[in-house]
Amino acid sequence: MMVTRVFSGIQPTGTLHIGNYFGAVRNWATMQDDVESIICIVDYHAITIDIDPKTLRHASLAMATDLIACGIDPEKTILFVQSDVPAHTELSWILGCVTSFGDLSRMTQFKDKSEKQAFVSAGLFTYPVLQAADILLYLADGVPVGEDQVQHLELSRRIARRFNSRFGELFPEPKPVVGEKGARIMSLSDPGAKMSKSTGESHYVGVMEPEASIRKKVRSAVTDMGLEAGHEMSPGVANLFEVLELSVESTGETGLVEELRADFENGTLMYSKLKDAVFEQLMAIIRPIQEHRAQLEASGEVLDMLHSGAQRAQAIASETIARARSMVGLGTRAD
């Protein structure tokens, strides 16, 4: 990997599902051993749409607990809550002034999200500027994100370039870091759509969900009529194989996938067998994560971990913001 410092953000709202886990969180946990890693729970982004204050505070802590349980080690990774480092918003203002209105108007995520809101806030429109600030504040050169964030990242690079050419070299241009397996898990009940918590309970498997409920969801996953040699694999079955393959990467049971694939080719695969395998392999990953989460909750130490994460983040952020302020000519204290 050719990057030296990676930064990624995750919204605190919503349950962590296996799509997030295989698509992002597991890669972050692997990466933290090789490269300086910063993971931010983006609560300032969360308020771009209507959210209850109590829900938000609880969600930020819950997301941090989930991430640590999933293997983000707060000793290795700088893990913190965005609003604990207020420089994010200060840099965001400055960067907003080198962001083109036209560029922001072309953001597809804004178009999608604003259609779903009765009240469309200016914050929702400038969301990508804050995202650029998140990344650039730490001079990060790599951003591990999924496909859906590529456009935002492209804008972050344009913003960095415009700042640098106007005020002088400060920001590296952040590159997307895509996992070798661009894991894209589909909904269990509608395999044509990406797994997402917003489409409803039956569509996703939550990492912290009770075992019985996971079993039920996997068992009722959409497949096809099956049992016909050489027939084309339907999206639902392909998705189950994808989940299985991603799971055995951690459990090491690769032989199982080969066996089931061979059965499929021969037209002898009972989907109930495939589903049982998916369930077992998933649970082999999920069980220890859930146990770790319970320990973390009982110990009550996550808040302290977040505070020390914020301090480490602050140390980097305050240097960058001081340089940015001075390059732009802000304030009365010249240095």
What are the catalytic residues?
113, 194, 197
Closest Cα to residue 188, out of 144, 227, 242, 230?
242
Site string for ligand TRP, 257-276 (x = CB under 6 A): --------------------
Q: Is 42 in the site for ligand TRP (CB under 6 A)?
A: yes
The distance of closest approach from Cβ of residue 45 to ligand TRP in the complex, given in angstroms and rounded to an integer, is 5
CB closer to ligand TRP out of 244 and 313: 313
Using the minimum distance from each CB to ligand TRP, give the nearer residue, 9 or 191: 9
Region label for 252, one of left (φ > 0), alpha (ψ between -120 and 50) or beta (otherwise): left
Q: Whole-number minimum distance, CB 9 to ligand TRP, in Å?
A: 3
Written as one letter, the residue type at 136 is L
Chain mean position to CA 177: 12
Interface with ligand TRP by CB under 6 A: which range of 4-12, 200-208, 299-307, 319-327? 4-12
Q: Please spell the DSSP secondary structure of 194-232, one letter per residue.
A: B--GGG-GGG--BTTS-HHHHHHHHHT----S---TTPP
Edge-to-edge strands of the sheet including 78-81?
78-81, 36-41, 5-10, 142-143, 175-176
Contact letters for ligand TRP, residues 7-26 (x by CB under 6 A)? xxx-x---------------
Q: Which is nearer to ligand TRP, 160 or 237 (CB)?
A: 160
Q: Which residues 105-144 are close enough to bind ligand TRP by CB under 6 A?
A: 131, 134-135, 143
Q: Which of 3, 145, 185, 207 binds ligand TRP (CB under 6 A)?
A: 145
Contact (Cβ atoms closer than 8 angstroms) between residue 66 and residue 20: no
In DSSP terms, 79 is beta-bridged to 39
| Under rule CB under 6 A, residue 72 binds ligand TRP | no
CB atoms within 10 A of CB 183: 21
Write the CB contacts of 135 (distance below 8 Å, at least 6 apart in sequence): 7, 143, 156, 174
CA end-to-end span of the chain, whole Å?
36
User: H or E segment at 5?
Assistant: strand 5-10
Q: Note whether 46 binds ligand TRP by CB under 6 A.
A: no
Nearer to ligand TRP, 92 or 187 (CB): 92
Q: Does 149 bind ligand TRP (CB under 6 A)?
A: yes
Which residue's CB is nearer to ligand TRP, number 133 or number 257? 133
Q: Which is nearer to ligand TRP, 131 or 187 (CB)?
A: 131
- One-letter amino acid identity for 260? L
Q: How far apart are CA 201 and CA 253, in angstroms?
A: 29
Site for ligand TRP in 295-314 (CB under 6 A): none
Tell me the window of 6-14, 31-39, 218-226, 307-315 that interacts with ligand TRP (CB under 6 A). 6-14
Three-class SS state of 314: helix
Among 45, 157, 203, 217, binds ligand TRP (CB under 6 A): 45
Check residue 194 for interaction with ligand TRP (CB under 6 A): no
Instruction: List contacts with ligand TRP (CB under 6 A).
Output: 7-9, 11, 42, 45, 131, 134-135, 143, 145, 149, 152
